[in-house]
């Protein structure tokens, strides 16, 4: 499922490929998406709490190579024919916050040092979203933290898919750690919550860094939460932590003018990954009150307005890990 947008740039018409929600672009085609998850925290069998290096594709019975690091809160995207993961926090290092990048190559089932340069800034807990503007695709990385002790970052950076180079992006109005970013189209992104802004939201435009009029705050404090675009154009924020580090089960929906309370989750959780799978917001993993580590996957039933548990489970909770959609044809060209 795809659309061809005709953009006028300097008097020339450019055709831009745009995939429908839940579909993934690979070069000049769109395929239905699968959820690829990496790292995060999981309550291990030996009862130690630690970062994970597990990679998995949800509901696909294939063992994937482990990520080269025990990693927490990196950034991640699908890049035409491979998975790209950058940054995050590495367990057990003197300077644990990273800017390095690694590629996962499906046919060899291995992680390799990426041809993509390192991030311009070491980042953990940054938000990330793929955007298109004037026919070009970018991975936009926003905020996060530069080290375990530093404040939340206002800086952003962009990976230009056409040149494979990082570029400085426009600054945020506020530093945000463990926030979430939503693509609003035409190079605009909505930032929702995060530490220490909690209820604050802002919309920023990529081309000139201008801020769009958006002053409505969330009803509740949220960081370590998830976000998704709904098919009808509204935005969804769900779960996360409050200012006292307590996980939440509430959700909120932005209708273009204000945030309204949405359908509650079956249980509170934070640190989950939210992806648009099969055209609907789908919640992967997370943790409840640092005690219950969720491996179940929930999807929003758009007709009934309630969360339903899918029959398959994750291998691990991947709390504060990273996830991205990859094409369901990811292994089709492999010998």
**For the chain, domain boundaries:** 220-311
Lowest mean pLDDT of 40-49, 102-111, 136-145, 181-190, name the range: 40-49
pLDDT higher than threshold 60 for residue 47: no
Q: Is the pLDDT of residue 181 over 90?
A: yes
Kindly report the number of other CB atoms within 10 A of residue 225's CB atom: 31
DSSP state of 99: -
Distance separating alpha carbons of residues 12 and 156, to the nearest angstrom: 30
Gap between the terminal Cα atoms of the chain = 26
Mean pLDDT of all residues in the chain? 90
User: Pick the residue with more confidence: 248 or 8?
Assistant: 248
Cα atoms in the Cβ-side hemisphere of radius 13 Å centred on 258: 3
Question: Are 31 and 22 contacting, i.e. CB atoms less than 8 angstroms apart?
Answer: no
- SS3 state at 182: strand
Residue 9 pLDDT greater than 50, yes or no: no
Residue 80 has pLDDT above 90, yes or no: yes
CB-side neighbour CA atoms (13 Å) of 24: 24
Residue 57 pLDDT: 99
CA 199 to chain centroid, in Å, comes to 19
Average pLDDT over residues 266-284: 96
Cis peptide, bond prior to residue 196, ω within 30 of zero: yes
pLDDT computed for residue 92 by the predictor: 66
Neighbours of 17 (CB within 10 A): 16
For residues 92-100, average pLDDT: 80
CA 13 – CA 136 distance, rounded (Å): 13
Task: Report percent pLDDT > 70 for the chain.
Answer: 89
CB-based contact 274:318 (threshold 8 Å): no
Q: 250, 246, 205, 260: which is closest to 226 by C-alpha?
A: 250
Nearest CA to 287 out of 304, 307, 273 is that of 273
Q: What is the DSSP string of 229-282?
A: E-TTS-EEEE--B-TTS-BB--EEEE-SS-EEE-PPPSS-BBS-EEEEETTEEE
The predicted model gives 142-150 an average pLDDT of: 84
**How far apart (Å, rounded) are the C-alpha atoms in residues 253 and 214?**
15
The pLDDT-based confidence of 95 (bands split at 50, 70, 90) is: low
pLDDT band at 164 (very low <50, low <70, confident <90, very high): very high
Tell whether the model's pLDDT for residue 94 goes beyond 80.
no
Angle at 50 between CA 46 and CA 55, to 5 degrees: 100
Which residue in 267, 325, 327, 334 sits closest to 298, CA to CA? 267
Residue 32 has pLDDT above 90, yes or no: yes
Least confident span in 16-25, 133-142, 151-160, 206-215: 206-215
DSSP letter for 322, please: E
Q: Please tell me the predicted confidence (pLDDT) of residue 44.
A: 47
pLDDT digits (tens, 9 = 90+) for 191-204: 999 999 999 999 99
What angle is formed at CA 44 by the lines to CA 40 and CA 48, rounded to 5 degrees? 95
pLDDT of residue 49: 57
Model confidence over 201-234: pLDDT tens digits?
Answer: 999 988 776 665 556 899 999 999 999 999 999 9
Nearest to 231, CA basis, from 302, 128, 130: 302
Q: In angstroms, rounded to a whole number, what is the distance separating the alpha carbons of residues 177 and 39?
A: 18
């Amino acid at each position: 499922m795809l659309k061809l947008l005709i953009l006028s740039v300097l008097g020339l018409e450019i055709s831009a490929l745009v995939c429908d929600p839940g579909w993934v672009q690979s070069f000049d085609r769109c395929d239905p998406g699968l959820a690829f998850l990496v790292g995060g925290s999981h309550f291990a069998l030996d009862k130690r709490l630690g970062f994970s290096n597990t990679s998995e594709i949800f509901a696909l019975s294939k063992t994937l190579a482990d990520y080269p690091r025990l990693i927490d809160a990196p950034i991640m995207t699908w890049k035409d024919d491979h998975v790209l993961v950058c940054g995050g926090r590495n367990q057990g290092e003197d300077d644990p916050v990273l800017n390095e990048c690694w590629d996962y190559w499906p046919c060899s089932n291995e992680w390799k040092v990426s041809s993509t340069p390192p991030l311009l800034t070491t980042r953990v807990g940054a938000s990330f979203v793929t955007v298109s503007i004037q026919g070009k695709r970018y991975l936009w990385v926003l905020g996060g933290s530069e080290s375990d002790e530093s404040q939340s970052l206002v800086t952003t950076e962009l990976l230009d898919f056409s040149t494979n180079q990082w570029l400085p992006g426009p600054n945020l109005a506020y530093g945000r750690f463990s926030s979430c970013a939503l693509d609003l189209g035409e190079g605009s992104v909505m930032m929702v919550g995060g530490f220490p802004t909690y209820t604050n939201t802002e919309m920023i435009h990529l081309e000139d860094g201008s801020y769009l009029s958006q002053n409505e705050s969330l009803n509740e404090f949220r960081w370590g939460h998830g976000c998704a675009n709904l098919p009808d154009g509204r935005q969804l924020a769900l779960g996360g932590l409050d200012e006292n580090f307590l996980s939440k089960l509430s959700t909120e929906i932005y209708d273009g003018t204000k945030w309204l309370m949405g359908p509650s989750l079956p249980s509170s959780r934070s640190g989950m990954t939210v992806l648009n799978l099969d055209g609907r917001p789908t919640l992967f993993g997370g943790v409840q009150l640092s005690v219950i580590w969720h491996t179940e996957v929930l999807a929003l039933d758009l007709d009934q307005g309630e969360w339903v548990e899918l029959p398959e489970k994750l291998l691990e909770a991947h709390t504060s890990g990273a996830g991205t959609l990859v094409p369901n044809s990811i292994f089709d060209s492999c010998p």
